[in-house]
Amino acid sequence: MKKTPLLNQAISAVIAGMGHSDALVIADAGLPIPDSVQRIDLAVTEGVPAFGDVLKVVMGELQVERAILAEEIKTKSPDMHTAILHWLGDVPVHYVSHEQFKQTTSNAKAIVRTGEFTPYANIILIAGVVF
């Protein structure tokens, strides 16, 4: 059995296969997922699992170089925005419009869908390197 906190096989496999500058998306329950991108659907019901719970575990597994958020999160979900910045620590954040965010997800290795119902609770994590 794995010793690290991430137990989900599909997420673990995606992270293990990621290289420098590859993208992984953690999404709320409503983000559209392109047919061309692997969907890892964790959503069970409203709030389960929570976006933050998934993000925190993934951050413990993935070397993150930078993150991308939708600009709209600042005004539409300021509490979630503050929490995300806390969970990211010193990871640099880049902001784009929500429309551009959705377009960018088509280049991701996978999109992890949570049960989060907070508007704009979506993040693109860009992989770094550990050396």
Please give the full DSSP string across 67-131, using - where no structure is assigned: EEEETTHHHH-HHHHHHHHHHHTT--EEEE-HHHHHHHGGG-SEEEE----STT--EEEEE----
Catalytic positions:
20
With left for phi above 0 and alpha for psi between -120 and 50, is residue 47 left, alpha or beta?
Answer: left
User: How many Cα neighbours within 13 Å face the side chain of 7?
Assistant: 3
pLDDT in tens, 28-66: 999 999 999 999 999 999 999 999 999 999 999 999 999
Distance CA 52, CA 94 (A): 19
- Domains of the chain, start order: 20-127 (3.40.1650.10)
The pLDDT confidence band at residue 93, using thresholds 50, 70 and 90, is very high
pLDDT over threshold 90, residue 109:
yes
- C-alpha angle 33/21/73, rounded to 5°? 50
Residue position matching structure tokens 């989060």:
116
The DSSP H or E segment spanning 65 is strand 64-70
Task: Count CB neighbours of 5 within 10 A.
Answer: 10
pTM over 0.85: yes
Q: CA-CA distance, 90 to 109, in Å (whole number)? A: 23
Tokens of 51: 């976006």
